[in-house]
Structure 1
Amino acid sequence: MYTRGIAGTAALLGLVALTACGAGEPAPEPETPKTTVPTGAPDARVQLAGLAAAAQDRKVTALYTWSAPGRSDRTVVLTTAADGSWRVDVPLGALGGTADVSMAQNAEGLFQCVLPSAEHPVSPACVRVADPGGTIERGVDPQVQHPFTDWRKVLTDRTAPLSVSVAQPLPGASGACFSVETTTASVDAPLDAGIYCYAPDGTFTGVKVSFGTLLLAGAPSGAPPTITLPGPVVAQEPLGMTTPPPSTAIPSVTPTA
């Protein structure tokens, strides 16, 4: 009887001990619900893509001051027409800065046009250099037209190899400015690295890249229904960008049939 009492007491103590051990284990922590943290302002690349897209939709006539080291300031004339055609007049933009040219695109193609100037009183004429939206050979490309045309498409492309950050405004440029770098080492980068500036409505207000700085000069005006080529289309070679030998003159032009 005494033995049964001891055994019963031991069993009771063991049960109490087991209960105490179980009570001492920490309870599993409740799983923290996953929440989506709301984002703040869009990042720089998203902002720039939106502004560049708005710029593509704007059809204007505008003047830009083009400045480059060692050169006098020049006035570039931009026309983006309602039908999608465009024209950019580039003073002293060819033959090493001695000839005025215009780059223009319509449904028929992409053209380089020679413009008359005091130094070169020639008849205006245009040479087709590519299909619409095509690539211009580097040797005949003044480059100044790119920030107004195909580089905008690159800025809106989220898959383009670019790094974008907010930058200090260019002196003389209004709106927001962005530093754009290419993330590829290819010589055929999709655009020039530099500073790009846009007003909130998508107006392109300035850029600083390899060929110099462009700054909007005054408020843009309305756009025409379509652009007009400054001269007839001719069958000849386009003007090169390098300075010609002293004996080389701008060739005379013969309109195509």
Structure 2
Amino acid sequence: MKKTFKNKLKSAKRTLSNFTTKIRHRANFSADVLWLSIGENCLTDDILRRHHRKSYSHVFSSSRSNIEYVLQMEQDNYRYLLPKEHLVHCIIDSHEVIRSGWYKTCANIYSPRHMEGFEFSHHNPLDVEEDRRAFKRRIARTLEIRGKKNVVFAYHHRLNERSDLAFIREKLNTLIDLYNNDDVNCQIVFFYQQLINESEQSRLAFFPSQSGLLEFVCHSKVLWGGEDQTAFWAKSDDDLFAEMFATVDAWRRFHQRHNEADITPS
């Protein structure tokens, strides 16, 4: 009884919070270009927010996931994400989270917690009704924009000894193909951190692809993680992220001018 009341109270608070957020950012829904996070965790979404790029909360904004889970959901239209028979309670470091029992198959190339099933890190769609409604809205928005809006997705991969960047690039390009057509364009900002020595200068390396996959290596000194909140949210590298977004803007402007030139009558 106590837990039920607690969940209902949480649902009411979330309803008010979600409504307020929607009103505050309502102009973002009609923007010409949408900027959305597709994981692998909340860091990407927070970077977009801090740099005033985030359009709205996406299915993967506040979760632990990987590009394979993203593709599985995109390819079956998120059919199996919210049915309660596919959601399970899990205890992680004495903290309860909800995970998908359906979207859980992937290659062994990600950080451990990103391979244990799609994780609702900050929501409980199994027990909190507003969380279910919120994800239904996110899914509906996602299906509505596919192939109809210009989209820039942002995807951060945490490098580890099993990382397979070529495999991840292949999957990201598959996602681009799902969203691209003759009328709209999709790009993916694919970024990851490469730690360097204290004596070295932080820097950004950019590897663009004609497909729209825009790859960035952030060479920096402080690991994005741990207990320190500045390090956890990668705030010490905000200058690199600002440069990254400026580079994406320049790339998109160049290709827009190039495409317009191609269709201008001679």
When normalised by structure 1's length, the TM-score is 0.26
Query: Which structure features the higher share of helix residues?
Result: 2
Q: Which has the higher contact order (CA 8 A, sep 6+)?
A: 1
Larger radius of gyration: 1
Query: Which structure features the higher share of strand residues?
Result: 1
